[in-house]
């Protein structure tokens, strides 16, 4: 049975992390933060100085490939 993912944004100010494993360099941890925006949803993800509209958009920008943002990020 597949694990059901809850698609509810964490509170504003929550720090999200992901560990990137690289063959060429040491592992590094990237971070993003849940922020309040004036958009329809009212939330966004601040990553690398840019606000993304969804967890997935921020995760794709961080990873460089298509990935499910709800499974990519971890709450710090």
Whether residue 66 lies inside any domain: the answer is yes
How many distinct structural domains can be found in the chain? 1
Burial class (CB in 10 A: 0-12, 13-18, 19+), 63: middle
Angstrom distance (rounded) from CA 54 to CA 73: 12
pTM of structure: 0.79
* Counts for the chain of helices (H) and strands (E), in that order: 2, 5
Whether residue 9 lies inside any domain: the answer is no
Q: Which of 11, 28, 31 is nearest to 19 (CA)?
A: 28
Range of the domain at 53: 15-75
**What is the pLDDT tens value at each position of the chain, 76 positions in all?**
666 656 778 899 999 999 877 666 667 888 999 999 887 778 899 999 999 999 999 999 998 999 999 899 998 8
Whether residue 8 lies inside any domain: the answer is no
Whether residue 21 lies inside any domain: the answer is yes
């Amino acid at each position: 049975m597949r694990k059901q993912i809850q698609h509810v944004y964490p509170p504003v100010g929550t720090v999200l992390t992901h560990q990137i494993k690289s063959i060429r360099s040491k592992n590094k941890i990237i971070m993003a933060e849940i922020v309040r925006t004036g958009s329809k949803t009212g939330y966004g993800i601040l990553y690398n100085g840019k606000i993304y509209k969804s967890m997935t958009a921020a995760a794709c920008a961080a990873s460089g490939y298509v990935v499910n943002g709800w499974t990519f990020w971890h709450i710090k």
